[in-house]
């Protein structure tokens, strides 16, 4: 099978690494890739938002399956353009990708299908949004409706913060993404990530995970794209997972199909475990990053079987198998991230590991001869397996400490809640 993988982050390196293990793989291309993915296949310089360019490449190289990693190409309709020319794609259509592309779209679906979620208001103008926020009071959550590169959500602990966030959205700070706003009640509890493959009709649950959004130890500092993750999530018991599947995942798949926009691909549900039960925070229409890294480390099955079955619209013949070990990933980022940061610093000791128990997944890196250079905010995801989360944590941090990169930083406490609660989980 000839495969084209779209993207250049740590998620894509993890997918490329797992796809490269498949006995069914003939050739793997990654567009545009990074300094790690070139060890798994061939990086190709395609413009991801130029759908005609990608289509021409697929036709020339006789691509059997396109795997779309990030959300932006999905929301832009890359799947539609390729499927329309007979090319299989892992990833939802433009209309189905609105589950991530529009917060208001997802909230309306929740209303329609009685999916438990935070109470909310949807606004297209600043004055009524401001009035609603003042009526509800803080803490409160302000979300730009569209894609804002992970920067469109503000958890406002004070009304002043909420007012600033609303002003930012409606003043154009997030472009078209902030032209509409969703304001939600603040949910208290612990958050977890639930992943399910969908073929448009049925859903197949994958392993659970938890990530760490805040930049610094103790869950302090600004939100980021994710500073680390682990799998499985001990707080998600079998009973809770069954409840999430029944009340959130399956109604979503059924609702999307009933609307004429069946969802095919991976549903990534951010779930808050509240005192009254699990509630949906938001959906993403692709694998999380860095959650994908820990999932791929634990997956025993041939990932191509899963991706192709999903793209073909029939998951009935596949069942994912998982390693019993836990996995934990520590993100190393450039100093200054998620704010302004420099580029070009050298990273020593970041060679891609050949071990099945430890992998250094690259994200914002480029290769200069035999040197690896930092070329982004989140740069590496050091990911390890262990008998339990504490062991995986120890193994990952031992690898992190062997990397020589003075210009980088990382959190020292990834997995702390799980280890504190259940050291042997």
| Span 337-377, pLDDT tens digits | 999 999 999 999 987 666 779 999 999 999 999 899 999 99
Tell me the domains of the chain and their CATH numbers.
Answer: 2-92 (3.40.50.20), 125-179 (3.30.1490.20), 190-312 (3.30.470.20), 326-421 (3.90.600.10)
Pairing of strands 371-374, 378-386: unpaired
Residue 20 has pLDDT above 80, yes or no: yes
Cα–chain-centroid distance for residue 237? Answer: 22
Q: Which residues of 94-122 are buried (b: 16+ CB within 10 A; e: fewer)?
A: bbbbbbbbbbbbbbebbeebebbbbebbb
| pLDDT digit string, tens, across residues 32-90 | 999 999 999 999 999 999 999 999 999 999 999 999 999 999 999 999 999 999 999 99
Distances (CA, A) of 246 to 105, 195, 265, 272, 314: 21, 14, 19, 16, 20
| pLDDT digit string, tens, across residues 312-343 | 999 998 999 999 999 999 999 999 999 999 99
Report which of residues 240 and 173 the model is more confident about: 240
Mean pLDDT value across the chain: 95
| pLDDT digit string, tens, across residues 155-166 | 999 999 999 999
Helix (H) or strand (E) holding 27: strand 27-32
| pLDDT digit string, tens, across residues 395-423 | 999 999 999 999 999 999 999 989 987 66
- pLDDT, residue 169, reads 93
Q: Is 344 exposed, middle or buried (0-12, 13-18, 19+ CB in 10 A)?
A: exposed
**Of 384, 400, 403, nearest to 392 (Cα)?**
384
Residue 425 has pLDDT above 90, yes or no: no
- pLDDT, residue 356, reads 79
């Amino acid at each position: 099978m000839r495969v084209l993988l779209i993207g250049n982050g740590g998620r894509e390196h993890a997918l490329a690494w797992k796809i490269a293990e498949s006995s069914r793989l003939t050739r793997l291309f990654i567009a545009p890739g990074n300094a790690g993915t070139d060890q798994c296949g061939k990086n190709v310089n395609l413009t991801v938002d130029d759908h005609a360019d990608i289509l021409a490449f697929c036709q020339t190289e006789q691509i059997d399956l396109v795997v779309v990693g990030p959300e932006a190409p999905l929301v832009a309709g890359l799947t539609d353009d390729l499927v329309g020319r007979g090319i299989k794609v892992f990833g939802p259509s433009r209309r189905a990708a609105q589950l991530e592309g529009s917060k208001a779209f997802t909230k309306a679906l929740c209303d329609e299908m009685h999916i438990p979620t935070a109470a909310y208001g949807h606004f297209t103008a600043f004055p009524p949004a401001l009035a609603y926020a003042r009526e509800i009071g803080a803490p409160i959550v302000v979300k730009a409706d569209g894609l804002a590169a992970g920067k469109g959500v503000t958890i406002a602990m004070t009304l002043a913060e909420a007012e600033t966030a609303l002003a930012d959205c409606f003043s154009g700070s997030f472009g078209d993404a902030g032209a509409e706003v969703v304001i939600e009640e603040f949910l208290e509890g612990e958050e977890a990530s639930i992943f399910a493959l969908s073929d448009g009709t049925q859903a197949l649950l994958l392993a659970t995970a938890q990530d760490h959004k805040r930049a610094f130890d103790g869950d302090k500092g600004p939100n980021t794209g994710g500073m680390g993750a682990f799998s499985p999530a001990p707080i998600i018991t079998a009973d809770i997972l069954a409840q999430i599947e029944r009340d959130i995942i399956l109604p979503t798949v059924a609702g999307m199909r009933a609307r004429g926009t069946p969802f095919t691909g991976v549903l990534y549900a951010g779930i808050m475990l509240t005192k009254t039960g699990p509630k949906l925070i938001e959906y993403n229409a692709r694998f999380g990053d860095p959650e994908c890294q820990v999932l791929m480390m634990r997956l025993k099955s041939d990932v191509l079987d899963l991706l192709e079955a999903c793209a073909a619209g029939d998951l009935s013949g596949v069942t994912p198998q998982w390693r019993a070990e836990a996995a934990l990933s520590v993100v190393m980022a450039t100093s200054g991230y998620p704010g302004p940061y420099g580029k070009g610093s050298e990273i020593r000791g970041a060679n891609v590991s050949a071990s099945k128990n430890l992998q250094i997944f690259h994200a914002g890196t480029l290769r200069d001869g035999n040197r690896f250079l930092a070329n982004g905010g989140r740069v590496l995801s050091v990911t390890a397996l262990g008998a339990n989360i504490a062991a995986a944590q120890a193994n990952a941090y031992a690898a992190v400490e062997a990397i020589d990169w003075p210009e980088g930083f990382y959190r020292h406490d990834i997995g702390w809640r799980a280890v504190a609660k259940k050291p042997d989980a």
